[in-house]
DNA sequence: TGAACAGTGTGACGTACGTCCCACCGCGTA
DNA sequence: TACGCGGTGGGACGTACGTCACACTGTTCA
C-alpha cells in the first residue's frame, strides 16, 4: 500500500475516528483488490460481509429489477466506502458492485472489523454519522425523482459528479465521469434517449460540452438553476 | 408510563440491545409528548437533537419541495423510531414530523443518549443495523419510483401499511391507515387523482373495499401480484 | 481493408400520468 | 335550513417521457 493509498483511506469515515496508531493497526487487516473495467466485485443476492473503500478508480453500485432493467444507485470514487450494509445487517447484498474504470479497493472483513466496533465507540459513532448522512442524501434523491423532470435530474447528477470528480481547467470544469449515457440514464432513472436529448439541449445552450464519457461544464450557474 | 408503553418501547431498536436494567435506566430519561391530530412536532430546517419512539398513534414524516409540494417519507406507528438522524449527524432536520392521529411519543435527548452510545457498544451496533435496514428499505422504494407505475406503487404502499397496521377480520384485512388519499398520494409520489383512480380500480376488481381513511383488503394475493 | 460492435444522435409515435374541472357527500357551524 | 369545508369520485385534455427505429461515428479484431 502506497503513501497515497494511506492518505485516501484516512479520509474514509471508517478511519476518520482513529488515531495514527489505530489506523495503522486496522490497515494491517485490509486486503487489496484489483478490478478491470466492467469486472464485478459482488452480485446482488450473494452473501458477503466485507466492506470496501475505493483506493483508485470508480465503482458503480447497481440494482436489477425483476424484469432485468438496471438502476444505478451511485458511483463511488477514491475515499468512498461501500458494502457496509451487509456488515452491519447480515443479509444478502442488495446491490451489485461493478468497476466503471480499472480500479483498486481496500477490503475489510467482518471479523477484522468487529473488535473495532465494540472496543472503540468513536468508530461506531462515526459510522452512525456516515450512515445518517447517506440516508439524508438518499432521501434527497428520492424527492428529486418525484418532483424534478429528467433534464433537471441530469443537471443535478452532473453537478454532483462534478463536485466529486471535476477538475477545473482554463476552458471549464472538466468532469471525467467515465459513464456511458446509458449508465447516466440508469443513474437518474430515465431512458438513455431522453438523457441524450437533455445533454444535447444543454450543449446547444452553451452550458456544457459533451465528450466521450465526460462533459466539460461551461456554465455551472445556469446548470445549477436548471437542476432546481 | 404504562406497562404497555414499556412493552412497546422494548421493541424499538434502541432498546433491543439493552438488558432489563439498562432499559429501565434509559427509560428514566424519556420525556413523554402528546400531540393532537394535525399537530406538528418539529419542522424541516429546525435544529434539534431529540430522537422519538412512537408509543401510541401515528406520525408522518414529510418533506416540502421549494415550490411547496409535499412528499411523505413514511408513516410510523407504535414501536418505531424517528428523528435520530439529527442526533447522529448534527444538522438541521430534513423532514417535518406531524401527527396523523392523536398520539403519544417518548422523546430522548442527545445528552441522555450519548453515554449509552459510547459506553455500551451493543447499543451502537444495534443502531447501525437499524440504519442499515432503513437504507435498504429506502433503496427499495427508490427502485419502485423508477420501475413501478402508480397503481403498482399504491398496491405496494397498501400492503406495507397492512403489514404494520392491518387487523385481520372475518371479512378481510382491515387497514386503518388514517391517511387521506392526498397523503397516500404524497407517500407514493403521485397526484391525489391518479391514486383515487387506482384505488377505485382495485375496488372495482373486488380486491379491496375503500373506507374513510382505511381500506379492507379482500384479495391480498392479487394486490401483491399487481405490486410487482 | 472490412466486418462487427459499442456508443451516440435524433425523429415519429403512443401512453401514463399530471393538471384542471366540477359534482357529490358528510359534517360541523351559523 | 342553509352554508361552507374537507375529502372523495371521476371526466377532458395536454404533455413529458418511454419505446421503437434507424443512421452515424469511432474502435477493435479478423
Q: How far is CA B100 from CA A126, B11, B73, B80, in A?
A: 33, 21, 13, 14
Residues of chain A with Cβ-Cβ distance to B136 below 8 Å are: 85, 89, 91, 94
Show the cell assigned to B41.
412536532
Residue with cell 456511458: A180
Backbone angles phi, psi at A2, to 5 degrees: -80, 170
Residue A18 has pLDDT above 90, yes or no: no
B211 touches strand C (CB under 7 A): no
- Is the pLDDT at B78 greater than 90? The verdict is yes
pLDDT for residue A17: 82
pLDDT score, position B132: 96
Residue B17 confidence (pLDDT): 81
Q: Answer left, alpha or beta for residue B68, where phi above 0 means left and psi between -120 and 50 means alpha.
A: left
pLDDT, residue B5, reads: 86
The per-residue pLDDT of chain B, averaged, comes to 93
Q: Is the dihedral of CA B135, B34, B19, B21 positive or negative?
A: positive
Residue A173 has pLDDT above 90, yes or no: yes
**Among A29-38, B2-11, B48-57, the least confident range:** B2-11
SS3 state at A72: strand
Percentage of chain B modeled with pLDDT above 90: 75
- Return the pLDDT at B23: 81
Q: Is the CB of B180 under 7 A from strand C?
A: no
Comparing CB atoms, the residue among A67, A139, A228 nearest residue B138 is A139
Of residues A194 and A67, the one with the higher pLDDT is A194
- CA of B220 vs chain A CAs: smallest distance (Å): 20
Answer for the pair A207, A171: CB distance below 8 angstroms, yes or no.
no
Percent of residues in chain B assigned helix, strand, coil, to nearest 5: 45, 25, 30
Answer for B210: CB within 7 Å of strand D.
Answer: yes
Cell numbers describing residue B133: 435496514
Q: Mean pLDDT, to the nearest integer, of A190-210?
A: 96
Distance CA A181, CA A215 (A): 11
What is the pLDDT, as a whole number, of residue A222? 96
Q: What is the DSSP code (8-state) at residue A102?
A: S
- Which pTM was predicted? 0.92
Mutate which of A71, A93, A124 to test chain B, going by most B C-beta atoms within 10 A? A124
Q: Which residues of A156-179 are buried (b: 16+ CB within 10 A; e: fewer)?
A: bbbbbbbeebbeeeeebbbbbbbb
pLDDT for B94 equals 96
In the predicted structure, residue A22 carries a pLDDT above the cut 90: no
pLDDT value at A53 more than 90: yes
For residue B107, pLDDT over 90 is answered with yes
pLDDT at B14 over 90: no
Q: Which of B91, B95, B131 sits opposite A128 (nearest CB)?
A: B131
Strand D lies under 7 A from the Cβ of residue B138: no
Which pLDDT score is estimated for A43?
Answer: 95
Mean pLDDT on B66-84: 94
With an 8 Å Cβ cutoff, are B125 and A127 in contact?
no
What is the per-residue pLDDT for A212?
Answer: 87
Starting at the edge strand found earlier in the chain, the sheet holding A81-82 runs A31-35, A103-109, A50-56, A81-82
**Beta bridge pairs of residue B76:** B59
Q: Report how many Cβ contacts below 8 Å link chain A to chain B.
A: 121
Is nucleic acid strand D under 7 Å from B212's C-beta? yes
User: What pLDDT does A116 receive?
Assistant: 87
| Selected residue with higher pLDDT from A25 and B156 | B156
Task: Using the structure, give the distance in angstroms from the CA atom of A180 to the C1' atom of C8, rounded to a whole number.
Answer: 9
Please give the pLDDT value at position A199: 97
What was the pLDDT predicted at B31?
94
Residue linked to cell 459510547:
B118
pLDDT band at B62 (very low <50, low <70, confident <90, very high): very high
Mean pLDDT of A108-132: 91
CA distance B91 to chain A (A): 10
pLDDT tens profile B33-56: 999 989 999 999 999 989 999 999
Supply B63's cell numbers: 418533506
Q: At what angle do helices A20-27 and A3-10 cross, to 10 degrees?
A: 110
Bases along strand D below 7 A from a protein CB = 6-12, 16-21
* Dist. CA B66–CA A160, nearest whole Å: 19
pLDDT band at B178 (very low <50, low <70, confident <90, very high): very high
Question: Which tens digit of pLDDT belongs to each residue from B112-158?
Answer: 988 888 888 888 999 999 999 999 999 999 999 999 999 999 999 99
Write the DSSP assignment of B41-65 as a string of letters.
EE-TT-----EEEEEES-EEEEEE-
Contact B136, A133 (CB under 8 A): no
Q: Look at residue A151 and tell me whether its pLDDT is greater than 90.
A: yes
> Percent of chain B at pLDDT above 70?
100
Alpha-carbon distance of A185 to B64, in angstroms, equals 26
Give the whole-number percent of chain A exceeding pLDDT 90: 78
Amino acid at each position: 500500500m502506497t503513501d497515497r493509498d494511506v492518505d485516501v483511506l484516512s479520509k474514509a469515515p471508517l478511519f476518520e475516528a482513529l488515531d495514527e496508531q489505530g489506523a495503522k493497526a486496522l490497515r494491517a487487516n485490509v486486503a487489496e483488490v484489483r478490478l478491470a473495467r466492467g469486472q464485478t466485485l459482488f452480485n446482488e443476492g450473494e452473501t458477503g460481509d466485507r466492506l470496501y473503500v475505493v483506493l483508485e478508480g470508480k465503482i458503480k453500485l447497481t440494482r436489477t429489477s425483476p424484469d432485468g432493467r438496471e438502476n444505478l444507485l451511485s458511483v463511488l470514487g477514491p475515499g468512498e466506502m461501500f458494502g457496509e450494509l451487509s456488515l452491519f445487517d447480515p443479509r444478502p447484498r442488495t446491490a451489485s458492485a461493478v468497476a466503471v474504470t480499472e480500479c483498486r479497493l481496500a477490503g475489510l472483513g467482518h471479523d477484522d472489523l468487529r473488535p473495532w466496533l465494540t472496543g472503540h465507540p468513536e468508530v461506531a459513532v462515526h459510522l452512525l454519522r456516515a450512515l445518517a448522512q447517506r440516508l439524508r442524501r438518499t432521501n434527497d434523491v428520492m424527492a428529486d425523482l418525484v418532483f424534478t423532470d429528467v433534464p433537471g435530474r441530469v443537471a443535478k447528477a452532473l453537478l454532483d459528479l462534478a463536485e466529486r470528480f471535476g477538475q477545473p481547467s482554463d476552458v471549464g470544469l472538466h468532469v471525467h465521469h467515465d459513464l456511458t449515457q446509458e449508465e447516466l440514464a440508469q443513474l437518474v432513472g430515465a431512458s438513455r434517449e431522453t438523457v441524450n436529448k437533455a445533454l444535447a439541449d444543454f450543449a446547444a445552450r452553451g452550458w456544457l460540452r459533451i465528450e466521450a464519457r465526460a462533459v466539460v461544464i461551461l456554465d455551472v450557474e445556469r446548470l445549477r438553476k436548471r437542476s432546481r
